[in-house]
Structure 1
Amino acid sequence: MKTLGIFRHAKSDWNDARLRDFDRPLNARGRKGAAIMGLHIRDHAQNWSRILASPAVRVTQTLDLASEAAGAAPSITWDRRIYLASSATLIDVLREQDGDPASIMMVGHNPGLEDLIFDLVPDDGNSPLRDIVEEKLPTAAFAVLQLDIDSWDKVDMGCASLVHLQRPRDLDPDLGPNANF
């Protein structure tokens, strides 16, 4: 059994049209969401063996703020392939992990992370959390999957169950879709 954490970057700032997508920072709501989710991830009590993340600015800032709030200094492996990756690419990244860590947290972007959940968790009507993700995996959302595999090179479609999902708005209503920042 392996554990996969999925953490979507927090809300980004679209105010500077001159910035490349890769270089967009977090906005005020995103900074608050990243910090509150950092506390939640810490309190979820999972010790992540490895953290894999997109090097995009909004992801690096999300992890910096989440780590600071949690009082942690995790070791992070930055992988450019995670930036705007498809589910297939994300599965390839997971399959390539050496050393067979017990748990991996992947931090990146939609639609790839959302699609990864859809590909790994069967749509068999037995996952109310998957139904929530079908509505949307919002910014700064955190999900935990249990994979019925013995090694990461065995990651395949339908091998997981979604055992935890936390959205920022569930922790602070000011972080919901109708919040004014």
Structure 2
Amino acid sequence: MKLLGLFRHAKSDWHDARARDFDRPLNERGTKGAAVMGRHILEHGVPWQRALASPAVRSAQTIELAEAATGMTMPIEWDRRIYLASSATLADVLRDQPDRYDRLIMVGHNPGLEDLIFDLVPEDGSSPLREMVEVKFPTATFAVLELDIDSWADLHDGCARLVHLMRPRDLDPDLGPQLIED
């Protein structure tokens, strides 16, 4: 069995229209959300062996702030294929991983991460948390999948159970959707 953590980058800033998408930093809410979720990931108790991460600025800042909030560090493999990747590309990145790693965490973007959950977790009722992902997989959300495989190369559709899902707003209501007031 393999364990896969999926961590969507925290909320980014859209205010600088000149900035390339790749270079967008986190906004204030994203900065707070990354730290809150970093503490949650640590408290969740899985000793992650390696992070696979998009090198986009918002992903790198999410990792940096999560690590700073917890004092934890782990080896990170920056993989440009993860940046705005499809589910199929993310699955290929995972299939390329050495089998000495049983617990990997991937930090990236939507819709790829969300679609990866839909591909790996069957829609058969075995993972009730899947329905929450169908509603939305917001920024800074953290999910854990148990994969019924012995080798990353054997990753295939339907091989996983979604066993944990935490959104920033579940830990701090101020990190939830911002409502527009009249």
- Matched residue of 2:74: which SS? coil
TM-score scaled to structure 1, two decimals? 0.97
Taking the aligned partners of 1:146 and 1:117, their CA distance within structure 2 comes to 11
State the match for 1:149 in structure 2: 149
Q: 1:89 to 1:170 in 2, by over 3 A?
A: same
Q: CA deviation at 1:99?
A: 4.1
Unpaired runs of 5+ residues, structure 1, are none
Q: CA deviation at 1:161?
A: 0.1
Taking the aligned partners of 1:34 and 1:104, their CA distance within structure 2 comes to 18
Taking the aligned partners of 1:25 and 1:96, their CA distance within structure 2 comes to 29
The one-letter code of the counterpart of 2:73 is A
The one-letter code of the counterpart of 1:29 is R
State the match for 1:50 in structure 2: 50
Taking the aligned partners of 2:51 and 2:112, their CA distance within structure 1 comes to 17
Taking the aligned partners of 1:53 and 1:78, their CA distance within structure 2 comes to 5
Q: 1:148 to 1:99 in 2, by over 3 A?
A: closer
**For 1:94-122, what per-residue CA distance to the aligned partner results, in whole angstroms no more than 9, with x for missing partners?**
00112431111000000000000000000
The one-letter code of the counterpart of 2:133 is V
**For 1:63-85, what per-residue CA distance to the aligned partner results, in whole angstroms no more than 9, with x for missing partners?**
00000001112221100000000
Q: How many residues are treated as equivalent by the alignment?
A: 180
Aligned pairs for 1:1-12 within 5 A: 1-12=1-12
Taking the aligned partners of 1:22 and 1:48, their CA distance within structure 2 comes to 26
State the match for 2:71 in structure 1: 71
**Seq. identity, %:** 69
Aligned pairs for 1:1-181 within 5 A: 1-178=1-178
TM-score scaled to structure 2, two decimals? 0.97
Taking the aligned partners of 2:71 and 2:33, their CA distance within structure 1 comes to 16
- Matched residue of 2:129: which SS? helix
> Residues 5 and 144 of structure 1 are in contact (CA less than 8 Å); yes or no, is this contact kept in structure 2?
yes
> Residues 126 and 161 of structure 2 are in contact (CA less than 8 Å); yes or no, is this contact kept in structure 1?
no
The one-letter code of the counterpart of 1:4 is L
> Residues 49 and 74 of structure 2 are in contact (CA less than 8 Å); yes or no, is this contact kept in structure 1?
no
Q: CA deviation at 1:125?
A: 2.4
Q: CA deviation at 1:179?
A: 6.0
The one-letter code of the counterpart of 1:47 is P
- C-alpha RMSD of the superposition: 1.0
> Residues 9 and 108 of structure 1 are in contact (CA less than 8 Å); yes or no, is this contact kept in structure 2?
yes
Taking the aligned partners of 1:117 and 1:73, their CA distance within structure 2 comes to 25
Q: CA deviation at 1:50?
A: 1.4
